[in-house]
Structures are given as C-alpha cells and as structure tokens.
C-alpha cells in the first residue's frame, strides 16, 4: 500500500480537489502531502537536493565558444561552436576533443561573466578528451575534484552541469545507467564510457559528469539520438581514461589523431604499405611543428568514416605502423624518449615518401 503523509488515497484525492478549487478562487496553498515525504512499502524516500552542490561546483564549469576555419573570414564566434568544460587547475580546462579539435579561436566563458582566450595543448580524439590552457589564470579559480568512475555503481545518482544549446551552467540530474567499452573512432582502442539518463543535449559536450559527492567522474561525450536531441541515452568518457590519455602520453601523440589502415585498406587507397592515416593535427602541437598534414576530404571506407588527403605515417624511428600491436609499441617507445630525443617519421604524401622530424616533448604542448 502506498500512503502519503499518513493520508489514505481517498483523503488525498479529496484534498487535491479542494486545493484545485481554492486555487481557482485565488486561495492557492501548498499541500505538503504531495510534495513532501513519500512512503513506499513503509520506508521513507527522499528526493536528493542538489542546490548546495550546484552552488559549490557550477563556478568550476565553463562554456566554450569556438571560431573554426570556416568562420575566420567573418571573425564571428559561430553559434554552432559551443561546448562545455571544467577547470582542473587555475589555468587549465578539460573538455571534449570534438569541441575544440578544429578550432582556430577559443573563448572560455565563466559563470561570473569573465571571458578568457585559450589554446589547445592536448587533444585525443580516440578518447574524446582535450586540455586547454588559458591565456591567463582566472583570478578566483574554482577547480573540480577528480573522482573514480570505478567507485560508482549502476543505479547511483549522477548529475551534469554544462551549456546545452549555449545556455550556460544548466543542471541535469539522473543515474549511472551503465558502463561499457567501445571505440570512438575507426581503428581506435575501446574507451571506457559511462552511460546516463541525465539530460544531455548539443552544447553539453565536454562538461563534467559528477557523482553524488560532487566529484568529476566523466567528460560528457555524445548521445544516441534519431532527432538530434536527448532521448535518454548519453555517454561520458571516464576521467581515468581521459587523464591517462592527456597526461601520460607524449606531446607528439597528443598532437594528432590517426586511423590505422590495414593491408586491404592500404591497397584500396593505392598506398605503398599499411600505416596511420592522419586525420587531424592540433594547432601548435609537436605534430604540427613537425609539418605533419591532416586529412581534408570526408569519405567512408567500408563501415568507417574518415578524412582522406592527409599524411600516411609508415614508420616512426624505424618502427613500422602496420597493425594495432605496432601502434601500441610505438606509443610505449614514445613514452621512453628523453626530452632531447626526437621522432624520425617516414610518411607518404601525395605519391611521395618524405622524412619528418619532431621533438619528443615541447613544454608548450606537453603536461607532465
């Protein structure tokens, strides 16, 4: 039996009817039996109040507005270039890679109205995580506390703060609906994702997913939707995955994204050998300084969408790039390089074999 504040169902309906009449007569009053404590099977259930957590955490969340190459002619910040992010240091903002990957101008908007420019210092499309450095630190920074997605179980409350459709610092509440692993890009390794029924819409990307204690456990990444709006299924990259990708990889690997082409794909594209087809290069990164060129032509190869026209990396420091094992070996070799060492790359570009050189680490684009 379900009862409300000790009242029977009949008494409740009677009270509701009187409340409606009183409301029509201008005698509206709040009936605590409806909005207060609910008794289910004799046990009290309370709706969690997020107002204190919101007041504490919302200043750490930012709205990110970007200007892309196509907008450079007008000099106006595109309305479609809107995302979210959150501060982890007084001058560092974490966000989603797809929010800033192609940006040429980035403006970070804080809850207090302050707007600061920022630069991408690392962007990993395979985990949809990016790191921005503000041109100057916020004078009164509020940073998030990182939590553990491992400690949150399916069914626990979670909440998201972000800028859906550009409306900054919007709160949405839900639950952790599931945990799964899937690749976010063609040829990429599986990424640990957190599923939620918290409302997520365009503009929320890059914002934090918090646990019920106010600790960041994920970076909002994408939704599954036929309409383009939220249909109850949203996903965030776990903070452990994002942090490892951004802080535990070399500046070179953090500076570009690529698709690993196998023998069949390489043959279909008339390439001399399998390799890494470069998709995007982060402006100002070590990869960019080496002269590595990104793809420009959207295409579909088999079941995978990708950008054609970019460099194909065949070797790095003598190691070939032919299968996922090679890719992991290359990454591990990159971690072992000293700051004074560099990468010697053999790339295929427009029918020619070229050699490119990149420094192992650049303090402007690499975070220890």
pLDDT tens-place string over residues 175-210: 999 999 988 876 667 889 999 999 999 999 999 999
Residues 6+ apart with CB under 8 A from 353: 272, 314, 346, 347
Residues 6+ apart with CB under 8 A from 285: 120, 121, 122, 123, 251, 252, 254, 255, 256, 362, 365
For the beta carbon of residue 265, count every other beta carbon within 10 angstroms.
Answer: 20
- Residue 300 β-bridge partners: 305
Q: Is the pLDDT of residue 149 over 60?
A: yes
Find the range with the poorest average confidence among 30-39, 92-101, 332-341.
30-39
Task: Report strand pairing: 319-320 vs 216-223.
Answer: unpaired
The DSSP H or E segment spanning 209 is strand 208-211
Domains and CATH numbers, the chain: 2-45 (no CATH), 48-248 (2.40.10.120), 253-359 (2.30.42.10)
What gap in Å lies between CA 238 and CA 251, rounded to an integer? 21
| The pLDDT value given to residue 250 | 58
Select, from the ranges 10-19, 78-87, 140-149, 218-227, the one with the highest average predicted confidence (pLDDT). Answer: 140-149
| The pLDDT value given to residue 282 | 72
Does this model's pTM top 0.75? My answer is no
Token duo for residue 281: 């290069």
Token duo for residue 100: 């800033």
CA atoms within 13 A on the CB side of 170: 19
Q: Is the pLDDT of residue 54 over 70?
A: yes
Q: Are 172 and 159 in contact (CB under 8 A)?
A: yes
What gap in Å lies between CA 99 and CA 108, rounded to an integer? 12
| The pLDDT value given to residue 156 | 96
| The pLDDT value given to residue 249 | 62
Residue 303, helix vs strand vs coil: coil
| The pLDDT value given to residue 336 | 67
Average per-residue pLDDT for the chain:
78
For the beta carbon of residue 15, count every other beta carbon within 10 angstroms.
Answer: 16
For the beta carbon of residue 68, count every other beta carbon within 10 angstroms.
Answer: 16
Select, from the ranges 31-45, 155-169, 219-233, 289-303, the one with the highest average predicted confidence (pLDDT). Answer: 155-169
| The pLDDT value given to residue 163 | 96
Q: Tell me the average pLDDT across 15-38.
A: 39
The model's confidence at residue 153, banded by pLDDT at 50, 70 and 90, is: very high
The DSSP H or E segment spanning 99 is helix 97-100
Q: Are 176 and 216 in contact (CB under 8 A)?
A: no
The phi and psi torsions of 358 (rounded to 5 degrees) equal -135, 140
Find the range with the poorest average confidence among 256-265, 338-347, 356-365.
356-365
Catalytic (active-site) positions: 98, 128, 205
Give pLDDT tens digits for 56-94: 999 999 999 998 755 555 555 444 589 999 999 999 999
């Amino acid at each position: 039996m379900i009862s409300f504040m000790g009242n029977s169902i009949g008494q409740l309906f009677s009270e509701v009817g009187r409340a409606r009449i009183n409301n029509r007569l201008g005698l509206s009053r709040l009936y605590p039996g409806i909005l207060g404590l609910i008794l289910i099977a004799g046990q009290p259930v309370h709706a969690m109040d997020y107002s204190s957590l919101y007041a504490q955490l919302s200043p750490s969340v930012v709205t990110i507005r970007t200007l892309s190459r196509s907008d450079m002619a007008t000099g106006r910040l595109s309305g479609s270039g809107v995302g979210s992010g959150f501060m982890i240091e007084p001058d560092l903002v974490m966000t989603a890679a797809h929010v800033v990957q192609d940006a040429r101008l980035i403006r970070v908007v804080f809850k207090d109205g302050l707007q600061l420019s920022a630069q991408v210092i690392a962007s990993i499309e395979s985990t949809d995580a990016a790191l921005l450095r503000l041109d100057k630190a916020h004078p009164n920074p509020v940073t998030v506390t990182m939590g553990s997605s491992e400690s949150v179980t399916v069914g626990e409350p979670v909440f998201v703060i972000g800028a859906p459709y550009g409306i900054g610092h919007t709160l949405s509440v839900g639950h952790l609906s599931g945990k799964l692993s899937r690749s976010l890009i063609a040829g990429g390794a599986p990424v640990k994702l957190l599923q939620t029924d918290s409302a997520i819409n365009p503009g929320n990307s890059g914002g934090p997913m918090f646990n019920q204690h106010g600790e960041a456990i994920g970076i909002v990444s994408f939704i599954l939707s036929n309409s383009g709006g939220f249909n109850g299924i949203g996903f965030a990259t776990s903070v452990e995955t994002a942090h490892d990708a951004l802080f535990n990889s070399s500046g070179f690997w953090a500076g570009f994204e690529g698709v690993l082409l196998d023998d069949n794909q390489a043959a279909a594209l008339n390439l001399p050998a399998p390799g890494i087809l470069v998709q995007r290069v982060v402006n100002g990164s070590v990869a960019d300084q080496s002269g590595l060129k990104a793809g420009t032509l959207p295409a579909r190869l088999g079941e995978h969408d990708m950008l054609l026209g970019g460099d194909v990396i065949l070797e790095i420091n003598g190691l070939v790039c032919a299968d996922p094992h090679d890719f992991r070996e290359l990454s591990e070799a990159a971690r072992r390089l000293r700051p004074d060492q560099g990468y010697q790359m053999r790339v295929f570009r427009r029918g020619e074999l070229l050699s490119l050189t990149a420094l192992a680490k650049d303090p402007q684009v690499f975070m220890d």
